[in-house]
A and B are shown apart, each in its own frame.
Chain A
Amino acid sequence: MRWSCCSPVQTATYPRVDEGAEVTAPMSRQGDFCRSSLRAKGRCVLATALALSALVLASCKGPPAAPGHGSEDGCAACGDGSGVPEGEGDEPPPVECDEPKEAGSGEDELPEFEWPPPKPSASVFVPRDLVLGADAAPTLGSSAARLEAALTRAGFAEWGYYHVPGGFALVSRLEQIERDGNPHRDRWAVDVSPRRAFSLWTYVSALFSATTGRFRVIVFVVTDTPFRPTAPPPDGPTAIAWLEQGMTGLPAPVRGRPYTTEHTCKALIYEFFKATPDHDAAIELPSHLDGRAHLTKAGIWGGLGG
Chain B
Amino acid sequence: MRPIPMRQARRRLAVIWLAGGGVLFVIIVLQSIFGKFGDKVDEAFQWFLPAIVPTCSLILGVLLASALALSREVKLVDRFVYRLTAALSLAYLLMVSLSILMSPFSETPPLELMRQSNLWLGPLQGLVGGALGLFFVSKEKENPVDGGG
Taking A277-B110, A278-B111 as contacts, is the C-beta distance between A208 and B34 under 8 angstroms?
A: yes
Q: Are A276 and B40 within 8 A (Cβ)? A: yes
The answer, yes or no, to whether B39 is at the interface (CB within 8 Å) is yes
Q: Are A276 and B109 in contact (CB under 8 A)?
A: yes
Chain B residues with CB under 8 A of A208: 30-31, 34, 36
Question: Are B38 and A275 in touch, CB under 8 angstroms?
Answer: yes
Q: Which of A276, A278, A279 has the most CB of B within 10 A?
A: A278
* Smallest CB-CB A-B distances: 8 pairs: A206-B104, A277-B109, A275-B38, A278-B109, A278-B111, A276-B38, A208-B34, A209-B34
**Chain A to chain B contacts (Cβ below 8 Å), 12 pairs:** A203-B104, A206-B103, A208-B30, A209-B36, A210-B37, A276-B37, A276-B110, A277-B109, A277-B110, A278-B40, A278-B43, A278-B110
Q: Mark B80-101, 1 if CB is under 8 A from A, else 0.
A: 0000000000000000000001
**A194 interface residue per 8 A CB criterion:** yes
Interface residues of B in 38-71 (CB under 8 A from A): 38-40, 43
Chain A positions 208 through 251: 1 when the CB is less than 8 Å from some CB of chain B, otherwise 0: 11100000000000000000000000000000000000000000
Kindly state the interface size class of chain A when it binds its partner.
Answer: 10 to 19
Which residues of A have CB within 8 Å of B103?
206-207
A149 to chain B: closest CB distance in Å? 36
Give the shortest distance, in Å, between A301 (CB) and chain B (any CB): 33
Query: Is A195 engaged at the interface, CB distance under 8 Å to the other chain?
Result: yes
Q: Could you say which residues of chain B place their CB within 8 Å of the CB of A275? A: 35, 38-39
Q: In the complex, are the beta carbons of B38 and A210 less than 8 A apart?
A: yes
A248: min CB distance to chain B, Å: 31
Contact indicator A194/B38 (Cβ below 8 Å) = no
Shortest Cβ distance from B98 into chain A, in angstroms?
Answer: 13
Total residues of chain B contacting the partner, CB 8 A:
21
Q: How far is the CA of A237 from the CA of B9 in the complex (A)?
A: 56
The yes or no answer to B107 lying at the interface (CB within 8 A) is yes
A277 to B37, CA, bound (A): 9
CA of A274 to CA of B106, assembled, Å: 17
Interface string of B93-131 (1 = CB under 8 A from A): 000000001011111011110000000000000000000
Closest chain A residue to B34 by CB distance?
Answer: A208
Q: Is there an interface contact between B101 and A207, defined as CB atoms closer than 8 Å?
A: yes
B105 cross-chain contacts in A, Cβ below 8 A: 194
The answer for the CA separation of A279 and B35 in the assembled complex, in Å, is 12
Residues of chain B with a CB closer than 8 A to A276's CB: 35-38, 40, 109-111
Interface hits, A175-212 → B, CB 8 Å: 194-195, 203, 206-210
Complex Cα spacing A107 to B112, Å: 45
Chain A, residue nearest B106 (CB): A194
B39 and chain A: residue at smallest CB distance:
A275
Residues of chain A within 8 A (CB-CB) of B112 are: 277-278
